[in-house]
Homo-oligomer: A and B are copies of this chain.
Amino acid sequence: MGWPRVFPGPLLILGDVTALPPLEAPLRRFEEALSELVQSDVLFIRLIHQDLVTAGGKRIRPRLVFLASRALGGAPFELELALAVELLHSATLLHDDLIDDAETRRGKEAAFRRYGNAVSVLSGDFLLSRLLHVIAKTGRIELVERFAQVAKTLAEGEVLQFQVAALEDYSLENYERIITAKTAVLMELAAEGPALLKGEPEEVRQALSRFGLLYGQAFQMRDDYLDLMGSPEALGKPVGGDVREGKATLITLLLMERFPEVREILRRKGREPGDLERLRALAQESGVAAEVEGRIRERALLAAKALGPLPPSPYKEALEALALAEARRLA
């Protein structure tokens, strides 16, 4: 690999993502390729994409692909895989704006508010067509099938989340299924994909698969935690979005077991003055917030541990650090 070990292990154990190995070059190629891929001569598609795709994001899924690929010494078609996972994620965001009724997404006015739901949905479909195109470019039909599985699970997870809110069918079991389906399976494919494309031994593929799944779960658990307990300034959006959509997350599910009023607050979608403040106070005072933080840390540690079978490398350490950072991510 030849990568100088300039950052100490203990720092990484604490999850210092600023010490990741540099991915500037692949990420620059990624941005260029993405911009080219989503070109269209239809004006309204270009406008949507300026909002969502080319304005960037954290590019967590492409980073996962590049790190996993490099932890294996480089996999073929890593760029195509990185593009494909990000396109699926971006399309989901565009189809999600309707669902979440999100007032802001990545700190900007949600696309659909400016051009209507229709254009958002169809621009998402356009991204999905480009996803098909990049996976076709790999010539690997088994990758098409893996994306088919992930896209199916993802859509089912999103619908289930809607269904659970509509039927007030709150349970920890449903929560686990939803975070796995709507977030973790795509992270799993991002991490496992390079092993698949490189034809790595089953043990290595499974290690990356397990890492991606557990990391994805920790990531979504952290997102959900911040949605209620985070700071609006750090997040760049108001807190309590999930409550306003009647969506139960780990904190509200655990609170519900102890305080019947929490179910009422969720039922009325936090519409009464002081509802959100009450939930935040209950979570702090009861120790539920700390308990959830503990569970996130636990999941992140399991993710890092799953990488055991991989040979040591700064990229492996970076993957570990990425997972462990979920224990204290603020935005």
Contacts and interface: CB of A to CB of B under 8 A. Distances in A.
A128 B126 contact: no
A135 B131 CA distance: 14
This protein's copies in its complex: 2
A286 interface: no
Interface string A136-167: 10011110110111111011101110110010
Contact of A133 (B117, B118, B148, B159): B148
B152 A144 contact: no
A159 B95 contact: no
Contact of A148 (B115, B129, B141): B129
A125 B45 contact: no
Contacts of A141: 136, 139-141, 144
17 contacts: A44-B163, A44-B166, A92-B125, A98-B118, A99-B118, A118-B158, A122-B159, A125-B151, A125-B154, A126-B156, A126-B159, A129-B152, A129-B154, A132-B145, A133-B148, A136-B144, A141-B144
Interface of A: 40-45, 91-92, 95, 98-99, 115-119, 121-123, 125-126, 128-130, 132-133, 135-136, 139-142, 144-145, 147-152, 154-156, 158-160, 162-163, 166
